[in-house]
Amino acid sequence: VILLSLPHLPLQLYQPTGHTSTFDDSGMSQDAPSPLRYVRYESARENEYVAAMRQLISKDLSEPYSIYVYRYFLYQWGDLCFLAMDDNNEMVGVVVSKLEPHRSGPLRGYIAMLAVREEYRGRGIATKLVRMAIDAMIERNADEIVLETEMTNTAAMKLYERLGFLRSKRLHRYYLNGNSAYRLVLYLKEGVGSIRPPYESYVPPPPPVMTEPPAAVTGLGNGNPW
């Protein structure tokens, strides 16, 4: 693991946007309503949804996930999974997330999977799905959100960094295909992670003011006072 040295950035906390606007992948708001529907995962439609999710995600992600991986996330954090559906009720985008306390203390969200069907890319679907997941985790009092993405996936890097994510680590040969990754983190609250105020420069304390001679120190038989 190689820690990245990043320049100091001004404090900019993520601001929830709500779900009334759509966003293209340049970060610009679109006034025209999207023909797509954005819905939250429903456990009652597990068989239908999971099959479509696996088909969509397996085409794009670096890791071949078994059905048990999907169930792990959906059984516990189904309310943090959002889907984009077209006019034919077919899934064209999905984001899968989780939220739990991290070992160092903060309540950490994790974006595990994000995929958009190729012919629908460039329409802001990925940005919209990630925003929905972030807002849902904010509603549940998340302190921070992390994810990993391939170093060569420049489109994903730009998307996440526009949303306020910062690079925190480089993960060498992180994926099974041998590709390396960046770990990105989005801090949601002041006092969490690297958005803590920087430490002030160390200044040695002034020498003590002696009001009377110090008491004699007895040596250990060698004539030295220490």
pLDDT in tens, 138-170: 999 999 999 999 999 999 999 999 999 999 999
Residue 34 has a pLDDT of 52
Q: What is the per-residue pLDDT across 66-115, written as a single tens digit (0 to 9) for each?
A: 899 999 999 999 999 999 999 999 999 999 999 999 987 899 999 999 99
Provide the residue ranges of all domains of the chain, joining segments of one domain with +.
16-143
Give residue-wise pLDDT tens across range 34-43: 589 999 999 9
Tens digits of per-residue pLDDT, 188-208?
987 665 443 332 332 334 554
The SS3 assignment for 126 reads helix
Query: Which residues are 162's β-sheet partners?
Result: none
pLDDT at 24 over 90: no
Among 17, 47, 43, 41, which Cα is nearest to 29's? 17
Residue 59 has a pLDDT of 82
User: Which CATH class for the 16-143 domain?
Assistant: alpha beta
**Is 19 or 151 the better-scoring residue by pLDDT?**
151
Q: How far apart are CA 190 and CA 74, in angstroms?
A: 30
Predicted TM-score (pTM) above 0.85: no
Alpha helices in 78-124 (DSSP H): none
pLDDT at 47: 93
Q: Is the pLDDT of residue 213 over 80?
A: no
Q: At what angle do helices 125-139 and 154-162 cross, to 10 degrees?
A: 40
